[in-house]
Amino acid sequence: MQEDLERVLFDEATILHRLDELAAEISADYRNRDLTVIAILNGSIIFMADLLRRIPLPLKLDCLSVASYHGGTVTTGEIVFRQLALPDVHGRHILILDDILDSGVTLAAIREKLTAEQPRSVKICVLLRKVKGRLRPVDADYVGFNIGDEFVVGYGLDYLENYRNLPCIGVLRKDRCRSCLTSTDL
């Protein structure tokens, strides 16, 4: 798998070191609050598992499964919520966890949907944030790493459902991307 990468951006040790810092920041901010973490499947699974074990606070965990449809490696803007019922977030402090903030379409839709359930607060934590213009006005409150506008895989991030189990994060080689990508799970 690693041979399909053009280059490694963050190796496992670098990612875990950064998670120590992020977890300390989040733990300080949510001390004595009713925290509910909403992890967005599938992309945030590995990030969630490593991050949450570094947060020594009582918290609730729920997951949302969302599909975004892509043309090539670009989001088209269509978001489908797979659950019939949303997690019960009324009156709670919500922290949404996702793998990557790209166009912003997905996180804006998720934030809108959860906000309608009247939580006490909503914040967003992403492992990666692409430094680029967004289609929707959304930003993350906690960011693992800023990256350029390149297609990356590994540590939960996929290309056609592959590479999620790579322990590092890297830029996929162009000759490994098929030109027409129809849909991916988050």
Candidate residues 35, 47, 93, 103; the one interacting with ligand IMP per rule CB under 6 A: 103
Nearer to Mg ion, 43 or 119 (CB): 43
164: tokens are: 């999620």
Residue 102 a catalytic site member: yes
Q: In the chain, how many H helices and how many E strands?
A: 3, 10
Candidate residues 46, 100, 125, 127; the one interacting with ligand IMP per rule CB under 6 A: 100
Nearer to Mg ion, 116 or 135 (CB): 135
Cβ 93 vs Cβ 36: under 8 Å: yes
The answer to whether residue 50 forms part of the interface with ligand IMP (CB under 6 A) is no
To ligand IMP, the closest distance from the beta carbon of 28 in angstroms equals: 26
C-alpha R_g of the chain? 16
Candidate residues 51, 59, 114, 152; the one interacting with ligand IMP per rule CB under 6 A: 152
DSSP secondary structure of 144-169: EEEE-S--EEBTTB-BTTBSTT-SSE
* Cα 95 from chain centroid (whole Å): 11
The answer to whether residue 102 forms part of the interface with ligand IMP (CB under 6 A) is yes
The answer to whether residue 36 forms part of the interface with ligand IMP (CB under 6 A) is no
To Mg ion, the closest distance from the beta carbon of 37 in angstroms equals: 19
Q: Which runs of E-coded beta strand occur in 93-141?
A: 93-101, 121-130
Q: Which residues are catalytic?
A: 102
